[in-house]
Structure 1
């Protein structure tokens, strides 16, 4: 696949199967990663002595590598681990050929591609080869952060359904945070029915994004976010009687 240059000069790729780029071209690949996933999640969970992170899905590795870089820069002292599923082995085998932003550690990327595992003091990273929903059935423990960064609900519905979010609800901590770029109303309804509380992040430099928590009215100060607004799902339903949640096909 050919590198596609995005607005912030970082690259992304186009996935032929799903018919979408891995990142928003206008926002910029690295910029989107930082503003929609890294800044919100770390503002919410930095105080914890240990962190368990689920990156759905690994893709080009931006979320995982950017989180490692950011936590190093911010001097996080806790113990933490990252788990990320990825189904596309051909994609993974090609990643060494691309020019990554300098702050993303290609040594870690290479280790994950070749061994599906990376470890250093207080950090473990696991790359799980296979379908994400199947991978979730084998993961143990309670996750604090979830990067919900799959292809869009219209293209990859199975990673946005009520049943999927219900599984995430069961495997996340009571004070977890889920970050996502998607504002799809049916997806929001699905997560709401599963027990999550949705909030819109009014971003200053990229398109607005969404977080889910289990805690009402989280007190957050997020870098480059001007306002956090509760998303009123019952009001959305009242305005649109045709609004339906996404469900697994029976």
Structure 2
């Protein structure tokens, strides 16, 4: 029984060793590849610019809320209960708007997600397709990503196919450009059928509607913000008038008291 067990272990060891010797492994550096793909850098720059713009908008709204809170804290002692509640309600509404705007920009299906999907994902797919094509052609069993969370204690440069991936992408780009130009020439002399025109019109209308809906949401938020600002200014003006009336009343009372004191003397 022991001999059978040892024989099985030996066979498994030999089998595994033989399998490992015949496996062909390569690796890539995804960060290096993407940094050398012009389309990716351009897409990433566009995305970064949008993110900076959205962050500035959110920061501006957040600072405005802090101003409202500070004003309330400074004026709370002289405000009536109704005015305090109105200001607190205004702050709560602004905070809700800020959260909605943040979700619109950075939520699961927000502008950032959609823009990344539109700009970056096609390029990443292009890289993955190039890797798969090379792996199939070279018969690699595994292709690892050096820049991922996978820990590579040592890597031999001769197994790095990153430059080969870039060359494949460049070659694919040239082929696609040639095909695109050929297709443009072909389409230039070809009239669209009524069905194609209708499909194209529907697609353009859908895109236009999506853009219009987003602009409408942003416009509604902006209008609401302006309305809140207007109401806040009206309340401030009302408060100023009340303060002025109270001050004048006190002055009149003081003058009247001084006049009475003079008459008594």
Question: Aligning the two structures, in what range does the TM-score lie when normalised by the shorter sequence?
Answer: under 0.3
Which of 1 and 2 has greater Rg?
Answer: 2
Query: Larger strand proportion, structure 1 or 2?
Result: 1
Provide the TM-score with structure 2 as the length reference: 0.20
Provide the TM-score with structure 1 as the length reference: 0.21
